[in-house]
Structure 1
Amino acid sequence: MLSYQHAFHAGNLADVQKHALLAWALDYLTRKDKPVSYLETHAGRGLYRLSAPEAEKTGEAAKGILAHADWFPAAHPYAQRLAETRAMLGDDAYPGSPLIAAMTLRDIDRLHLAELHPQEHAGLVQAMQGWEADIRKQDGFEMALSLCPPTPRRGLLLCDPSFEVKEDYDRIPKVFAALARKWNVGILALWYPILRGGPHGPMVAALKAQHADILVHEVRFPPARDGHRMEGSGMIFVNPPFGLADEAARLSALYKGLR
């Protein structure tokens, strides 16, 4: 059940939503002179090449960040991370969320990453060379539950599964409930695909029911190709940082222009 590799999808319209909101939230957290913990349950390989055969085969990046980089002014945290990645690693380099986090965090902050897929884990270790990170070849939910509440207590967790394991739809509300009990000050973020048939619906409803302070942001976009089931993507933030709802609304307006 570990077949998913994000290289085929890096930089697509779902990544644009996820990484724009993540970069904004991390930038917000690091404005204060207080340390931050960042945890990621499904880290992937951390760095992608948009000229790679996988990316060119699907063409998703060409319809994503390569077509819509102008959505983000130079001062936007996402645009800054993209520019920094290209300056360091070449014009075709695209940062995954672990690299976006590493470039945003400071020496006082802590970075914890889990990735179970053998090839993705090896790629992650290579991509994160030179960055201070706790990288684990471990089930990400188990890592999160074992570390929470982390030190420092202030921070953000990103859960970004591929959902190739269908049980994740049922598992995530239970894991988030446990994490919220253990780490009531933490920002818990979840990305999910919006697929034809709406399998995400019960999961989202359960999360809304169990968390009082929650931001749900969904965007729709044309399928990447004929027969592709993904019609959009969603982000959920439990304990969302102040101002994130405004950034989400700005993104919503941009995605509506795609139709």
Structure 2
Amino acid sequence: MLSYQHLYHAGNLADVQKHALLCFMLDYLVQKDKPLSYIETHAGRGLYRLDAEEAVKTGEAAKGIMAVEDAFAPDPPYRLRLAATRARWGDAAYPGSPLLAALTLREMDTIHLAELHPQEHRLLSEVVHIWDAHVHKKDGFATALALTPPTPRRGLMLIDPPYEVKTDYDVIPGHIANIARKWNVGIIALWYPLLTNAAHIGMLAELSARFPDALRHEVRFPAAKADHKMIGSGMFIINAPWGTGDEAKRLSRLFA
């Protein structure tokens, strides 16, 4: 199923949580003068316009990044990447996770992005080509398994599926276990929605049993509209970099 397009939801509060933690972890990794690999399994188009009809229609960005950005300190990695995006593409531009990674990583680093949706893949390729990113029009989990362990071996993988298929919750723990078995030193970060039907509970229970030392961070927020089912979001991070837990606690205060 390829119906999901993140443009309707770009810049929402779930993005704020996911992107703030991603930027913190990537910024930590680039402090060391050693190359790294960044892999993303469900990349999207990479760059969004918050004044687009689709984004304005849902109003999620207005209740998300537009409402809370000033609560961040002026110079954390997330805000710096937002500023860099706007300087290059205009005030209404908003970076997806592939662009946040590309803006953070160095020439010595390697970027692999998987996106199966034809339109999103084309737009993503246009955005990230200047960074020599490897853009794969393939299934994200198959790509992740094929690429691991990557070269360089040090690095981070973001798994951010749209959860269009109900069985995603059932199969994701197995996918992550297979990836982690091949890449035991990799940072593996899974984003998941908190829905009114609590669909994530079984998945998180299995993941927590398999990876008891992983960092689990969840935030709650009001549904964007009365009929929306998402009331929060979470990140499950295996091999989280030092300080990520403290950063997650600071981030939680924005949602209190």
TM-score class normalised by the smaller sequence: over 0.9
In the alignment, which residue of structure 1 is the partner of 2:147? 147
* CA distance in 2: counterparts of 1:205 and 1:71, whole angstroms: 32
* CA distance in 1: counterparts of 2:36 and 2:70, whole angstroms: 30
SS at match of 2:142: helix
Larger mean CA deviation between 95-104 and 127-136 belongs to: 127-136
Is the Cα contact below 8 Å between 1:46 and 1:97 reproduced in 2? Answer: yes
In the alignment, which residue of structure 1 is the partner of 2:117? 117
TM-score w.r.t. the length of structure 2 is 0.99
Give the partner amino acid of 1:190.
L
Q: Note the alpha carbon deviations across 1:6-57, whole angstroms, 9 max, x for none.
A: 0000000000000000000000000000111000000000000000000000
Is the Cα contact below 8 Å between 1:12 and 1:61 reproduced in 2? Answer: yes
SS at match of 1:169: helix
In the alignment, which residue of structure 2 is the partner of 1:31? 31
Give the partner amino acid of 2:222.
P
SS at match of 2:199: coil
In the alignment, which residue of structure 1 is the partner of 2:203? 203
> Which blocks of at least 5 consecutive residues in structure 1 are unaligned?
none
Is the Cα contact below 8 Å between 2:220 and 2:232 reproduced in 1? Answer: yes
SS at match of 1:16: helix
Q: What fraction of aligned residue pairs are identical, expressed as a percent?
A: 64
In the alignment, which residue of structure 1 is the partner of 2:255? 255
* CA distance in 2: counterparts of 1:74 and 1:85, whole angstroms: 15
SS at match of 2:130: coil
Is the Cα contact below 8 Å between 1:213 and 1:240 reproduced in 2? Answer: no
Cα root mean square deviation, aligned: 0.7
TM-score w.r.t. the length of structure 1 is 0.98
Deviation at 1:75, TM superposition (A): 1.5
* CA distance in 1: counterparts of 2:152 and 2:26, whole angstroms: 15
* CA distance in 2: counterparts of 1:69 and 1:148, whole angstroms: 35
* CA distance in 2: counterparts of 1:86 and 1:154, whole angstroms: 30
Deviation at 1:70, TM superposition (A): 1.1
> Which blocks of at least 5 consecutive residues in structure 2 are unaligned?
none
The structure 1 segments of at least 4 consecutive aligned residues displaced by more than 2 Å after TM superposition are none
SS at match of 1:227: coil
Larger mean CA deviation between 167-176 and 17-26 belongs to: 167-176
How many matched pairs?
256
Is the Cα contact below 8 Å between 2:115 and 2:137 reproduced in 1? Answer: yes
* CA distance in 1: counterparts of 2:16 and 2:179, whole angstroms: 26
In the alignment, which residue of structure 1 is the partner of 2:218? 218
